[in-house]
Amino acid sequence: KFAQTIPEIVDLIGSHPKYMGWFTSQKGRRHIVVCGHITYESVSHFLKDFLHEDREDVDVEVVFLHRTPPGLELEGLIKRHFTTVTFFQGSIMNTVDLQRVKVHEADACLVLANKYCPDPDAEDAANIMRVISMKNYCEESRIIIQLMQYHNKAYLLNIPSWDWKQGDDVICLAELKLGFIAQSCLAPGFSTMMANLFAMRSFITSPDMAAWQNDYLQGTGCEMYTETLSPSFSGMTFSQASELCFVKLKLLLLAIEVKPIDGGDTKISINPQSSKMPANTVGFFIAQSAEEVKRAWFYCKACHEDVKDENLIKKCKCKHLMTFRKGVRAIQLVGKTMANKTGATPATPFSAALSKPLLNIKNSVMAKEENGSKPVMNGRLVPIGPNGLVDETYGGYHISYEVKKLMPTNKPADQQKNGKMEVGIADDQAKDFDFAKTEMKYDSTGMFHWTPARSIEDCILDRNQAAMTVLNGHVVVCLFADPDSPLIGLRNLVMPLRASNFHYHELKHVVIVGAVDYLRREWKTLQNLPKISVLNGSPLSRADLRAVNVNLCDMCVILSAKVPSNDDPTLADKEAILASLNIKAMTFGDIITNIESMGDSKDALNNMGDTTVKRPGPIYGTNVPMITELVNDSNVQFLDQDDDDDPDTELYLTQPFACGTAFAVSVLDSLMSTTYFNQNALTLIRSLITGGATPELEIILAEGAGLRGGYSTPDTLSHRDRCRVGQISLSDGPLATFGEGRKYQDLFVASLRNYGMLCIGLYRLRDAALTTVDATSKRYVITNPPFDFGLLPTDQVYVLLPFERKQSRFSFSETEV
C-alpha cells in the first residue's frame, strides 16, 4: 500500500509552487512591496516609470505580492526585469505572506487601484483593508495608496498609525483628475503640462516631425526634481534665486521649502514674494534630468560667477562645499530637514533610508524627549507646544478638531476686548456672539470662497432662464450620469475654481448641464460654493448647450460618471466622444452678447489677457475651448477627426493631449513612482492643482458635513496670499513687445522683475503662420521652453501669478454673471 502512495508523495514534494518562496533581501539594497491591482497593464506602466533611466541610481528591488500566479504576459515581463523585479503569490491580508515579502523591512508598500472597476467604493474599501493589514503588521511601514474616491480618504485617517509625516500618502484619482481639469479651465492646456512634468519621459526629436511636435516633445522630457540650494543662494529673495537659476544654471525654480519661525512643519511655498531664503533651502525645479539639477547645489558665486557655459558648473574646492552629499536624485528624503535641525550630520540617501524610522520622529516630540511622559492620542504622540499646551498640529488632529469645532472659527478680535466669554456656536450662550455684524465669506481655513448652504432648487435653471441669463466667460460642465451612478466628487472640480486667492468678481460661474437626480446626490458637497447653476437637461441637446451660451464659455468640460460596461471597455467613452463631436459640429450665428464695455483703465495691466470680454464668441463649435475626460486612452483617436494620430500612439504623444483638449486618468499612474521617490512633489502638485487643500481642511471634510464657514481674521486672510495659475496673452498689454521676435529668457526675466510672475511654459498656435490673434486655431503646450526660444505675438504664456490685494492687474474673465 505504501508503494502505491510513493508517486503521490513524490508529486507533492516535487510540485512546490513556483511563487511561494520567501524574499531574501540583499544587504544594502532597498526593496518595495507592490500589491492591489496587479495585471500586465498595471505592472508594465508602473515599471516603465519606476525604472526610468532619468532617475539617478534607482537601486531598489520591486516585490509584487498577489493572490493568483501571474499570467503568461506578466510572467514574461517579470523575467525581462529579473534583476529588479520579483513576484510572490500570497495575500496581503495574511501575516505569514507579509513576513515572506519582508514588509517590515520594505522601504515602502504601494497599493495599486483598478481604475476601471465597476464599483469604485468597493475597490477603495478593499485597498484600505490592505493598508490596515500592513499597518497592523508593522506600524512603521511607509504606505502609498491609490484611491478612486475622495470621500474614502477619510477612512485612512481612522488608522491609528497612518501618518503623512512618516511618508504615508494617498493619491486620490478623482481629486487629482478633476483638479487637473479645473486648472485647465483657468489656463487651457495646463493639465497636459502638469501630467508631463511628473511622468518620466525621454524625448527624441526628429527632423521628420512637424515643428510643433518637436517643441512639444522637448517639453515632455522635463520632470520635477528637488535639490538643496547652495550657500550662495542664502539671503536672496525667491525672484532673485529663480532668475539666477534660469539665466545662469538653465533651471526653472518653481518653489521652495519654508520652515516656520515657530518650528512647525515645513511648508512648500510656490513663487513666494517676500522673505529671503535661509541657508540650505530646498528648491523644487523643472529640468530634463537629475544631473542638471545638481548645478543648484554646486553653484558657487566665487568660482562660477563668470562661467558662461552652465555645463561647466561642477563641484568646486571651496570650503563650504566640503560637506557635499553624494548623489542628488529626484528624491526628497523624508525627515532630512529633521536631521539637520537636531544637529545630525547630513544623511546620504542610503543611510537616511536605513535610519528612516529614527528620522521620522517629529521634531517637537524629540525636543521634548527628556521631559518624561508624553500625551498619546489615537496611538500617536501628541506634540507639546512651547507654552505647555497641546500643539495644534495634524499629528494630534483629534484634539485639534474636537476643540475647534466647539468654538466659532476665527473669532473676531473685538469679542475678546468686550470681555465676553468665548462660547461655542452650538452653546446656549451663543446669543452673546454678534452674527449680524460678521459676514462669513471664506471657509474656516481661509483657503476657499464660501457661501451659506443653498438648496439645489434655488440653483436650477430651465432652458428659458438660462437663455435669459447673459452667461459669458463661464465654465460649462457637461455631465453624463445615471441616477445611481457612483459619485465622482464634483466638489474637486469646483473647489479649485473657488480658491480664495481669486477676488470674488474673478470667479468663473460654473453651469452644470446634466440629470438633476444624480446632482441631488452630489449637491451636499457643492451647496456652500458660490456661483453654481444647474441646467436639468442633456449635454447632447444642442438647445440646452445654446441656452448656456456654450460658444461664449471659457471652457467646456465633458465628464461621465457612468460605469463602464464589462462587455466592451472601448465603449466606455461613447457619451463623452458624442458630446465632443456634437459641440464641434455646431454653428453659432452672429451673436452679440450684452457685455458691458470695459472702461478705460489707468492701469495698463488691468485688462491684460482678458480676451473673452473683448472678442465675440466663435462661430464654429470646433473653436469652443473644450476638455474631454476619457476612461480609455485609445479612444483619443476619435476626438479629432482631422488629426493623423496612429491608433497605437501613446496618449501623451497624441494631438488632443498635446493640445490640452483630452485628459485620461491613466496619466496619474506615474504619480505612484513620483511620490515614492519625492514625497514633496505630490504636495507641490496637490497645492497647485487643488487650489490649496490642507490637512486641516481634509479633516473637516472627513466629518461629512461639508465646508464650514469662518470669520475673517488677519490670520485666515493671510492664507489668500498664495500664487495661482494663469495664462497671459502676448498679443496686447505691456508684455506685447516680447511677442515680436524676442527670446523666452527676456520675457522670463521681465515678468519676474516687474510683476513677480513666474513663467513656466507657452501655449502656442499649431499653425504658427497665422499671425493674427485667432483663438480658433489649435494650440499645443510647450513646457519650460529653452532660454533662446523665439516668441510669437500669438503665444500665450503659462504663469504663476502672485496674489494681489487690490484688483488683479492680470485679469481674465471679469464679467459678472
Mean pLDDT by runs of 10 across the 817 residues of the chain is 70 65 81 91 87 75 90 88 88 91 90 88 94 91 92 86 86 91 92 86 76 86 86 87 88 87 77 82 87 83 66 63 41 36 38 35 35 43 46 40 38 40 37 47 86 90 84 92 89 91 90 93 90 92 90 92 75 88 83 39 35 56 88 83 69 87 87 85 84 76 77 80 87 81 89 90 78 61 89 89 64 32
CA neighbours within 13 Å on the CB side: how many for 773? 15
Q: What is the DSSP letter of 395?
A: G
| Cell reading at 231 | 550657500
H-helix segments, 606-664 = 611-614, 655-658
Task: Indicate the pairing of strand 85-89 with strand 60-66.
Answer: parallel
Helix (H) or strand (E) holding 283: strand 282-287
Q: What's the confidence (pLDDT) of residue 346?
A: 39
Phi, psi of 781 (to 5 degrees): -95, 130
Whether the Cβ atoms of residue 269 and residue 256 lie closer than 8 Å to each other: yes
Is the separation of the CB atoms in 791 and 738 below 8 Å?
yes
SS3 460: strand
Residue 479 has φ and ψ, to the nearest 5°, of -120, 120
The secondary structure of residue 477, as a DSSP letter, is E
| pLDDT value for 808 | 44
State how far the Cα of 175 lies from the Cα of 255, in Å rounded to an integer: 22
* Confidence at residue 478, expressed as pLDDT on a 0 to 100 scale: 95
Q: Measure Cα distances from 307 to 300, 301, 310, 629, 659 in Å.
A: 10, 10, 7, 47, 38
Whole-number Cα distances in Å, 368 to 247, 262, 379, 383, 388: 45, 15, 18, 9, 10
User: What three-state secondary structure class fits 170?
Assistant: strand
Instruction: Please give the Cα distance from 529 to 454 (Å, whole number).
Output: 9
pLDDT of residue 249: 85
The pLDDT of residue 601: 34
pLDDT of residue 135: 92
Backbone angles phi, psi at 238, to 5 degrees: -60, -40
pLDDT at 1: 65
Q: What pLDDT is recorded for position 513?
A: 94
Pairs from 565-572 (Cβ < 8 Å, separation ≥ 24):
566/118, 569/116, 569/631, 569/632, 570/632, 570/634, 570/635, 572/116, 572/631, 572/632, 572/635
